Amino acid sequence: MLVKLSINGEKHEADVEPRLLLVHMIREVLRLTGTHIGCDTTHCGACTILMDGRPVKSCTVFAVQAQGKELMTVEGLEQNGKLHPLQEGFMAEHGLQCGYCTPGMLMTSYAFLKKHPSPTEDDIRWAISGNLCRCTGYVNIVKAVQHAAAKIAGGA
């Protein structure tokens, strides 16, 4: 089936099997490998991307369901050579170690901060509870999201 979609502002089309998972299309057809795969059951969130602004776990979406949609992946966060405040926050607060869950964490947090620009710590913890991290113990991820929220509020 022919799928036409836009990803990080670029239009793409590809002829894919109807059963192809969106994450495989992104990683293997479009070669954007920042989106990762960590489980088969929609639990780990490493594959989280935005579909029309909503975070989805792309291992549980078929590529054909993305027909006509606007997708955004971790590769789309940096704009004109300028990092997104979340990317800066993750570096500044040591919010990542192995880096494998990081793209999913960034995309979940990106969608979350759009809706909740001044969250409490509890809000953040619930927001990222669909994304597993085995390295950081989450403390610094929470700080990274707070860092970004403050920066965005300050007009970054």
Binding site for other proteins (CB under 8 A): 17, 19-20, 24, 27-28, 31-41, 43-44, 46, 73-75, 77-78, 83, 87, 90-92, 94, 96-103, 106, 121, 124-126, 128-142
Residue whose CB is less far from other proteins, 94 or 114? 94
Q: Which amino acid is located at 60 in the chain?
A: T
Least distance between other proteins and beta carbon 153 (Å): 21
Residue 139: how many other CB atoms lie within 10 Å: 12
SS (H, E, C) 73-102: CHHHCCECCECCHHHHHHHHCCCCCCCCCH
Nearer to other proteins, 45 or 69 (CB): 45
DSSP line for 15-82: E--TT-BHHHIIIIIS--TTS----SSS-S-TTEEEETTEEEEGGGSBGGGGTT-EEE-GGGS-BTTB
- The least distance separating other proteins from the CB of residue 76, rounded to whole angstroms, comes to 9
Give min distance, CB of 84 to other proteins, in A: 9
Nearer to other proteins, 6 or 132 (CB): 132
Least distance between other proteins and beta carbon 155 (Å): 21
